Amino acid sequence: MGADDAAEMLLAAQAECLRLERALAAATADALEGRTIAGLDSRGLMAIATERSRQINFEGYTPLHDVGHELDLTRAAYCYLDAAINQMIFGDYLSSPLLHVIPPTWPWAREDWKPDPDPTRNLVKAGALAAAAVDARLAAAAALLEEPVYREGGIGDE
């Protein structure tokens, strides 16, 4: 297999992943359509919920997985929010050099920084990452509450 064949296969695999992500997003949006959260009918909330669902179902980043990474999740949310702010201030969304600069506060590997040319999409990513940080904090708190009081081999065991 030549380099061109491998590149073509990689591109096809990436296209299939994108197709599946869009299908999940559409299915999640369909499931949420018509629902309101605390009386709000917000497309923004639905978009963030859809992205969070994608993170959990396709990336495996469940609240339990994310426990202990709350600060990194918050930093990542900030980076996407900052990218969206800069895109909206400076315009030129499609060719913005800001999209190619990895923020100094980005908590993960270079290849994980994937800003979108659309600032609205970056706002959605920021919201979903912030929600993930909240989910992780709540999961950590729940795990502490569910810790058993009695442990084998503890004081008083006979």
User: Which of the residues in the chain have pLDDT under 50?
Assistant: 149, 157-158
Q: In the prediction, which pLDDT does 99 show? A: 75
Q: Are 32 and 61 within 8 A, CB to CB?
A: no
Tens of pLDDT, residue by residue over 138-147, are: 988 888 887 6
Tens of pLDDT, residue by residue over 102-113, are: 999 999 999 999
pTM (global) more than 0.85: no
Q: In the prediction, which pLDDT does 115 show? A: 94
- CA-to-CA distance for 138 and 151, rounded, in angstroms? 24
- Residue 22 burial by CB count (10 A; 0-12/13-18/19+): exposed, middle or buried? exposed
What is the DSSP secondary-structure string of 96-155? Answer: -GGGGSPPTT--S-GGG----SSHHHHHHHHHHHHHHHHHHHHHHHHHHHTS-S--TT-T
Residues whose CB is less than 8 angstroms from the CB of residue 30 and which lie 6 or more positions away in sequence, other chains included: none
